[in-house]
Chains A and B, each alone.
Chain A
Amino acid sequence: MNGTLLTTLLGALASAAAALLLAPLFEGLLRKLKAFLHSRQGPPILQPYLDVAKLLGKEDLRTASGVGYAALPALALSSVLVLALYVPWGPDPALGFGGDVIAVLYVAAASAVMLMLTAFASGSPYASVGGSREMMMLLSVEPVLAVALITAAVKAGSLHVASIRDWQLENGPSISLAIAGIAFFLALQAQAGKLPFDVPEADQEIMGGPLIEQSGPRLALLRWAIWSKQLVLAVLLVELFLPWPRIELPLLAVPVVLVKAFLVLLAVGLIDVVNPRLRIDQAMGYFLRVAVSSLAGLAFAVIGM
């Protein structure tokens, strides 16, 4: 019993640390990719670490009082770290249980909700426009994530993330899960706040939206949460929908998962570079269509394809 507890604890620590420590590296690589396609030199790959370190050392300025407001950025980041515990990073998730697909859905939404609350509480009209856009994006992207995960659950006959992955490894690719995977990928584009779906932040329209009044350590934590979230969701995507081949050795499995996640994020970055920003109504319409199309995947899963 003690042994299991210790393993769980160590696993949890390792997952959270991986999300926290690797996220800035992935962000740095994405910035380099963007710079390359812009014919620019771009910042050093390790710049995001320096950004975070610098911001963390600055004075904590707040535009609103209250413990809740003070804690929101930390809550946003920690909710992403909790999500990391339910995601398999090669080995099984640190905190898997029988119905954890449902938990993943909730926890994945949590950081967006925190960002939204920060926006509404920060007392800037730009932030509140950003907050309401964040809410609309959440409402349109969440169903897509839900349909994708439920398709996987129906297909594999389990609400357990690790079991779904194992089922995939045993049975190989299928039409329904391919559709679900694509839907999940499009949702990831929005969840990572990348173009054409970075509507809530929209620098040129509402100057960063929810982030406009955030500075110093608060900005560091929120940025870090956004970067960690894109990494964790990319890992979840490859583990659920592209888990092949099975690698037993954990020391090899972890880097392979990270490389695959990087390739997924590379695709996200490419789409980001070649698109302008959609309007909020266009983005919502887009995800409505994606949600409806992804129901086809669910239908395929029900009839066993």
Chain B
Amino acid sequence: MNDKTTTAARVGELLRERLGPALLELSQPQSDTVLARIDKQAVRAASTALVGELAARFLINAGIDRRETAGDFSVAQLFSLDRDHLFVVLDCAVDPAEAAIDSITAIVPGAGWAEREFRDAVGVEPRDHPDPRRLILPDDWPADQYPLRRDFRYDERPPAAQGLRPPEIEPPAGTSVISVGPFYPVLEEPAHWRLFVEGETVVGCDYRGFYNHRGIEKLGDSELTYNEIPYVAERICGICGFIHSTCYCQAVEEAAGIEVPRRARFLRTIMLEIERIHSHLLWLGIAGHILGFDTVLMQTWRIREPVMWLAEAISGNRKTYGMNTIGGVRRDIAPELEPRIREVLDTLEREVAAVRDAIAGDATLMARARGVGVLTADKARELCVVGPPARGSGLGIDARVDHPYAAYDEVPVQIAVEQEGDTWARVLVRVDEILEAIRLAREALAALPPGPVLAEVSEEIPPDRVGISVVEAPRGEAVHAVWTGGDHRPYRWRVRAPTYPNLQAVPAMIADNTIADVPITIGSLDPCFSCTERFEAVDLRTSEVRVYTQRDLIEMSQALTRGRKP
């Protein structure tokens, strides 16, 4: 607590010194958050001071349309001071008459995508951005419509246009283009890399993604209420759903000052670690498959299955548990289930140790993973990479340690760090993390305190608050930020999945590798495009809800096959 206060004071001092009158207002809405309202002209100076002198790490930014309340746009740049457990928000007001702000990508390369995103979403231009192409919007989206502006309805659909292509980077002379995507067999989700290759060697690449963007954030601040969002947040990702619902709930709890019961915090920890275990085992299998090593795939997925059954026994579902809600969790772990959880964890520990020993000694595997897809510590820091890719490159960052949440302050985490930065290092980090997650789940279960699992939330959540929450997902740190509003819903809900910063490191990682190394290099990030793009499988063409039964769907497909319109 004390170091937070002193660091917060230091941040204030530094900003006051560097910005002078450009620092309009400094406040500390929560003990771990410093909010600085600054003149937009000073955004570069402020970012330089934070990143350069306090080694702050850029998290994400959010473009907010405040025209109906404050009469302006806001661009909020979020930073984290990891060692000091502190978030810093730079809130820059942008006048709608001149909707532009200086780009900070030159100072923080990892902000590149996020700045393109607020341009696409609310129409604030990042000035002097090195790559001003569209990021999240499709190429046929009209130039003057911005989906995250408040006057844009969530179900509005601009007319589609045909035959438009994304502006592409010209391949360097003497190279040919090999496509990885838009649909690539081992990546399973759409993303399009155009590799520029000389023979088999990759010399550069171009990326176009966000084919799955469906505007979950928009739903959150226009249609859903605080208590409905956890279930949508959970569906951001098919693997780390509990992470997103926890992260969202924590952001709201933080903004509203809701105290979560201790038992609920332990239950969240247990579920988060169970999710990490099955996610890492899933990844290990896929990594094996990418290298043609299907034995690893089959065996890791076999030992993963009991974990899914365990999740089902606890929550009623293998995945997408529907357990989190604002103020705690909706399901408790029954005492009679505890021995079974311990038993599954014990068996799993044995089997994972066996897998680790088999993998660690495999010379061919090492030949394919060592020195492949190297991400240096400097590059990782520059691009704000998170999670196992960051820890594989020697950066000891982990949200569970840097910003302890749930019960991680009582069940401390030993983080695994490797220095080499190659695919092999990322494999080792994840295997260690499975064993650590088993230990954490077991300890949290043993220390599970009695008491209620859900706090009574009787008062309305006050407007104009901000809450920031980070959760260490298996893929890295997820960030949710909530600006509260009226109508029982956030004014703005910002989500950043871990793959979002990590994907931006791909060009640096695959340069000078061969084509054969590209799938495993991208795979070694454990990428999750749907989280990155905040995808949701809900048809919003009509506002009425229509439920298709299996029979309807079969009939529709049959009709399509026969060439009729359904």
Given A39-B302, A280-B516, decide whether A129 and B178 contact each other with a Cβ distance below 8 A: yes
Q: Which of A3-11, A199-207, A297-305 contacts B (4 or more CB under 8 A)?
A: A199-207
Q: Which of B21-29, B59-67, B287-295, B532-540 contacts A (4 or more CB under 8 A)?
A: B287-295
Tell me which of B200, B290, B293, B298 contacts A40 (CB under 8 A).
B298
Given A37-B295, A38-B294, decide whether A205 and B515 contact each other with a Cβ distance below 8 A: yes
Contact A38 B292, beta carbon cutoff 8 Å = no
Tell me which of B176, B186, B368, B517 contacts A276 (CB under 8 A).
B368
Contact A204 B364, beta carbon cutoff 8 Å = no
Say if the beta carbon of A288 comes within 8 Å of chain B.
Answer: no
Contact B293 A129, beta carbon cutoff 8 Å = no
Given A38-B294, A204-B289, decide whether A278 and B515 contact each other with a Cβ distance below 8 A: no
Total interface residues on A, CB under 8 Å, equals 28
For chain A, residues 251 to 296, give those with C-beta under 8 angstroms from any C-beta of chain B: 273-282
Q: How far in angstroms is the closest Cβ of chain B from A209?
A: 11
A39–B515 alpha-carbon span in the complex (Å): 31
A278–B178 alpha-carbon span in the complex (Å): 20
Residues of A within 8 A of B178 (CB): 125-126, 129
A280–B513 alpha-carbon span in the complex (Å): 12
Contact B179 A38, beta carbon cutoff 8 Å = no
Contact B291 A274, beta carbon cutoff 8 Å = no
A273–B516 alpha-carbon span in the complex (Å): 20
Contact A279 B368, beta carbon cutoff 8 Å = yes
Contact A204 B185, beta carbon cutoff 8 Å = yes
Given A204-B290, A273-B295, A277-B368, decide whether A129 and B515 contact each other with a Cβ distance below 8 A: yes
Q: Is the interface of B mostly helix, strand, loop or mixed?
A: helix
Question: Beta-carbon contacts of A189-209 to B below 8 Å, as 1s and 0s?
Answer: 000000110110011111100
For chain A, residues 143 to 166, give those with C-beta under 8 angstroms from any C-beta of chain B: none
Contact B516 A38, beta carbon cutoff 8 Å = no
Contact A279 B516, beta carbon cutoff 8 Å = yes
Question: Beta-carbon contacts of B135-147 to A below 8 Å, as 1s and 0s?
Answer: 0000000000000
Residues of A within 8 A of B317 (CB): none
Question: Beta-carbon contacts of B508-538 to A below 8 Å, as 1s and 0s?
Answer: 0000001111110000000000000000000
Residues of A within 8 A of B298 (CB): 38-40
Residues of A within 8 A of B290 (CB): 204
A203–B518 alpha-carbon span in the complex (Å): 13
Contact A204 B295, beta carbon cutoff 8 Å = no
Given A125-B179, A198-B292, decide whether A203 and B364 contact each other with a Cβ distance below 8 A: no
Say if the beta carbon of B367 comes within 8 Å of chain A.
Answer: yes
Chain B contacts to A: CB under 8 angstroms: 176, 178-179, 185-186, 200, 288-296, 298-299, 302, 362, 364-365, 367-368, 514-519
Q: List 8 A-B contacts (CB under 8 A).
A: A125-B178, A126-B178, A196-B364, A199-B516, A204-B186, A275-B364, A276-B362, A280-B514
Chain A contacts to B: CB under 8 angstroms: 34, 37-40, 125-126, 129, 195-196, 198-199, 202-207, 273-282
